[in-house]
Amino acid sequence: MKYLCTNCNYIYDSAFWDREEEIEVWEVLDQCPVCEEFDTFHGIDEEVNYIEDDIMDSVELEHFPEVSIEWDKLIVVVWWEVHPMWEDHRIASVSLYDEYGDLIEEKYLEMENEAKVEFDFDDLDEYEIRVKCSLHWVWGKKFVNE
């Protein structure tokens, strides 16, 4: 998720915070690191590019989440595990949303990880997977269990 400092317009993206520092997102958002004002961050709704199965261009294909369910796990693989995972072009996170668009869980990926995640799965009838790419924005695909 992205957050905007309403004082200086700094945008903080939680998918790219420094995990080595092990600072919680809300610790960072207490005070803006740029203008040093307190309590000025507000969430920004990100535009989601939805992927359809029937017609995909090469950029959509790179961000297409393949899903499988094994027991109580939902396994998500982005573009058959070959999406680049470089510093300037990588899958930053994969998120699971319920049928109402509410976030259930977001998994962050490091550069050394493959573009594959597992979620605990509670047998949702409908759900959405969102893939955040550092170069190509947020991609979403809705799924219906049959």
* pLDDT 10s digits, 75-125: 998 875 566 677 777 888 899 999 988 889 988 887 777 788 999 987 788
* pLDDT tens by residue, 1-53: 778 888 888 878 776 655 555 555 555 678 888 888 888 887 777 788 887 76
Mean pLDDT over 53-74 rounds to 79
What's the pLDDT score for residue 118? 93
The pTM is what?
A: 0.69
**Strand pairing of 48-50 and 137-144?**
parallel
What's the pLDDT score for residue 19? 53
- Domain architecture of the chain: domains with CATH: 2-44 (no CATH), 48-144 (2.60.40.730)
What's the pLDDT score for residue 79? 72
Q: Is the pLDDT of residue 144 over 80?
A: yes
- Give the DSSP letter of residue 88: S
Maximum distance among all Cα pairs of the chain, rounded to whole angstroms: 51
What's the pLDDT score for residue 33? 80
What's the pLDDT score for residue 2? 77
Which of 10, 13, 25, 11 minimizes the C-alpha distance to 132? 13
- Give the DSSP letter of residue 51: P
**CA–CA separation, 143 and 52 (whole Å):** 11
